[in-house]
Amino acid sequence: MFKFTSLLLAVDAQRTWTSGALETSFHAKSRLELQFNFAAMQVNNADDDGTVSLHAPGWAHLDVPGEPELPILRAAMVLPRGVRGVPQVVVKDALWQTIPLSNWGKRIHHSHGKCSLCGECNETVLSIAAYENRFPRTPTVALQPVHRWRDVEGVVVEVQPVSVDHIQGVVDILYSATIELTEMQVDATRPQRKIVDPVFLDAYKFVYSNWEHSAHDYDVAPENGRVLVLYDQQFQTQAQTYADLVKVRLGSDVLVQQAGPSASAIKTTIEGFYNAAAGLSYVTIIGRDVDAPTGSETSRECDNCYAM
């Protein structure tokens, strides 16, 4: 029989809710199954009017301006090579607890949205509609669309473990569940193992929760892949010095080339080397001041806009 203990501790102006588990985590039971455990959440008195803020240590918030600031937890899952179909999510063995919202306060603090790293958060008016019914209105467990990251395909599993029913005045908390990816077909013939750059292999291990169950599909390359150095004409000497240093430290084949006149020209150059048989692993752009590449949400240069 599963025995569960929850504690509500009052310490000064901060209250800490914690479960009997050690830490909030996603543990991969197999390459297509995650075990979710929600261990701890801080409930802080934000205002004298009974408004409280929630914080799950180590995890993010929804960050939707004006709406209740609730935690969201994400785990990346690498998909088997040769998989076909659109993955769906199934939640099994879910363990919930329902408590009165009044145990914490009158309402959950509303979000100010994503705050600038260099300034104060924006003042945001509370969204009345978000506090009239059940929130969030989206499923507790959901999947982001399938993404491709160089050598692998994967999905991000999102869990919103706390929901508030404002009509009933209760909070539902998902303590644990098994999350399974389904409705996919995997080729019966096992695909040939893929050779991956050492640094990228380390990155996949770090990012994907189920990597240990999929690692047998990949082999580490004996050395890192090619490096492309693009430079503005006035920095040709510095670019060559940098390229020589990279070659000594990484042992990689380094390509040095003057950058094109625009962001699109630079991106086309990168794509050309990347799609060549020898491939491309790293890019450095030195001193090229061009308009921000298409797709940049910050109006500045970014890895995703040029390389992914």
Question: The whole model's pTM is what?
Answer: 0.79
Could you confirm whether domain 7-189 is CATH 2.60.40.3800? yes
Assess contact for 131 and 107: CB atoms under 8 A.
yes
Pick the closest to residue 285 from 308, 306, 264 (CA basis).
Answer: 306
Torsion of CA 241, 231, 308, 191, to 10 degrees: -50
Distances (CA, A) of 77 to 167, 185, 213: 36, 16, 10
Report the top-level CATH class of 223-307. Answer: alpha beta
pLDDT confidence of residue 242? 95
pLDDT confidence of residue 19? 45
pLDDT confidence of residue 117? 67
Residues of the chain with pLDDT under 50: 1-21
pLDDT confidence of residue 306? 76
Q: 82 — alpha (psi -120 to 50), left (phi > 0) or beta? A: left
Assess contact for 177 and 94: CB atoms under 8 A.
yes
Query: Cα–Cα distance between 182 and 263 in angstroms, integer?
Result: 40
pLDDT confidence of residue 58? 84
Query: Cα–Cα distance between 7 and 80 in angstroms, integer?
Result: 40
For the chain, the structural domain boundaries read 7-189, 223-307
- Give every CB contact of residue 94 below 8 A, 6+ residues apart in sequence: 174, 176, 177
pLDDT in tens, 267-284: 899 999 998 988 888 999
